[in-house]
Amino acid sequence: MAFNLDFLLSIKLFEILTLTFLYYIFHFYFNYYTRKNPLPGPFPLPIIGNLYLIRGDLFDFIQKNHQQYGDLFELWVPNRNIYFNNVNQIGKLTQPNTKSSFTTQMKLTKIFQEYIQTFGFIILNDDYESWRYYRKLLEQTISNQSYQHSLFDVILECFGEIQGHWKKLGAEHVIDIREWALRLLFDILIRTTTGENLFIMTKYFNHLTAGPKVHIAKEIDEMGEGIDQQLKNGAKALFYFQYVPEVLARTVFWWKTKKYLQISKKAQSVYNKIIEKRKQEIRNEDSSNRKVDVLNLLLNANLSDENESPSSKSIRLSDQEISIFLFEIINTSILTTSNTFAFTVEHIERNKKVKEKLLEELKTVFGDDKNNISFYKLSQLKYIEAVIYETLRVTPQTLTIIRTNNKEVDVSNIKKNSNLSFGTGLRICPGRFQAINMLKTLIFLLYLNYHVELVDPHSPIKNEFTFVNICLSGKVYVRPRNAE
């Protein structure tokens, strides 16, 4: 009798699940066929939308739909997204004022919110007032002249270290520009913002070299491992949580979800350790000997005495907020800047006239003295800056500029000549000038010190669109100029 009862219960459960699934399908297609302002586009399936049609690169998929349906169409990836494929059609999406109906970048699933807790202040923050406050704080931090000079000095220092690593690897070793740039940029920004060195470049060198390895303290090495995993998987994880339906991420692909969440938490714990270490240093050291960096500026307000004005207290951040803030300063530009650097080198090496003009500019600005380098000379590198912007035009870092409307709007107006390299409107990248200056510095240092040669100059540039445009080529030989 118990067996029969269990059997009956299993039948009932199956019926309930079947009816629930059928109701979901009916509800999905009812909403689909009754949606407002239907646009042309491929037919979606429940749960996965149009994801079943994607074969390989997402950019190719969108391009094919653009060719088939025109400049304005909709895709369900997995929810409804309207695609404008003509820059002249997005005027109201890019209004640089608070009256815009598109102040939010995207609607996030709960699991995406869980992952991007480390990006929650600026990049994907959909709370407008909170986003505006933290963006202003970030802009004030990175636009500070002392910060910019410190950043430039650290770039020179770190580039000197990378030269040492490349010398040990030898002139015949293939240099993957993007992989080195990822770690170089992290080392630069972690030192500039916190004064700490996690030796991520050195860790990568130890992975590559067949010769003696550079010793790294165990604690630093373990912290570096968390960061290295984040650098390797960051773009893929963001792409995964953006496009994979939450129900599938929590069930079918639970193992991949767990992996990405663990990597994010491990990377965040590195910043927490740095903050705790610095707080102890501040308590124990003479204030006149304190380092001048972003972390100290944020922590000093928290650790000062209570005899402060209410306005001073109001700008205090918790340790967790400081950790997230540092994470954003460092990581918002690493993925895009490293790939842009690799693409720029690719384009320079494939265009002889461009390379000649670039070297002429270096000769004019710096002469024959490689030590004749200063922050103020960056503004004279007009041609290099033009090459960077052209690279961003030809191989943009972002596939789409995502905006979510908070009320019904008419998007039929026209806006001419929009430059969308760093986004546009209220959500334009706050670190765009810093990114350009970093790229200019790295490019002039590379070509001032090395002869660069593509490993395979006859093959086309290879890339892959995930959350950003990843350079899969960018393999070069570098030979010191002073070796002539």
Check whether residue 194 and residue 329 sit in a common domain: yes
Buried-exposed string 159-180: b where 16+ CB fall within 10 A, e elsewhere = bebbeebbeebeeeeebbbbbb
Q: pTM of this prediction? A: 0.82
121 lies in a domain? no
> Which residue type occupies 313?
K
Chain centre distance of CA 165: 26
397 lies in a domain? yes
Along the 484 residues of the chain, how does pLDDT read in single tens digits?
Answer: 445 656 556 667 777 888 888 888 999 999 999 988 888 999 999 988 888 888 777 778 888 888 898 888 888 887 777 776 665 555 555 555 555 555 555 667 778 777 766 555 666 666 777 777 777 777 777 777 788 888 899 999 999 999 999 999 998 899 999 999 999 999 998 998 888 899 999 999 999 998 899 999 888 888 888 888 888 888 888 888 888 888 889 988 999 999 999 988 888 889 889 998 888 887 776 655 556 677 877 776 555 544 444 444 445 678 888 887 788 778 777 888 999 999 999 999 999 999 999 999 999 998 877 777 888 888 899 999 999 999 988 888 876 666 665 555 554 443 433 344 445 555 566 667 788 889 999 999 999 999 999 999 998 989 888 778 888 888 999 999 875 4
Whether the CB-CB separation of 151 and 192 falls below 8 Å is answered with yes
Longest CA–CA separation in the chain, Å = 95
445 lies in a domain? yes
> Which residue type occupies 208?
L
444 lies in a domain? yes
11 lies in a domain? yes
Check whether residue 138 and residue 12 sit in a common domain: no
Residues with Cβ within 8 Å of residue 235, at least 6 apart in sequence: 335, 466, 467, 468, 470
Give, to the nearest 10 degrees, the angle between helix 382-394 and helix 352-366.
150
Rounded alpha-carbon distances, angstroms, from residue 375 to 195, 330, 338, 379: 20, 21, 21, 8
The structural domain count of the chain equals 2
- Structural domain including 245 reads 131-483
76 lies in a domain? no
Query: 421 has which bridge partners?
Result: 423
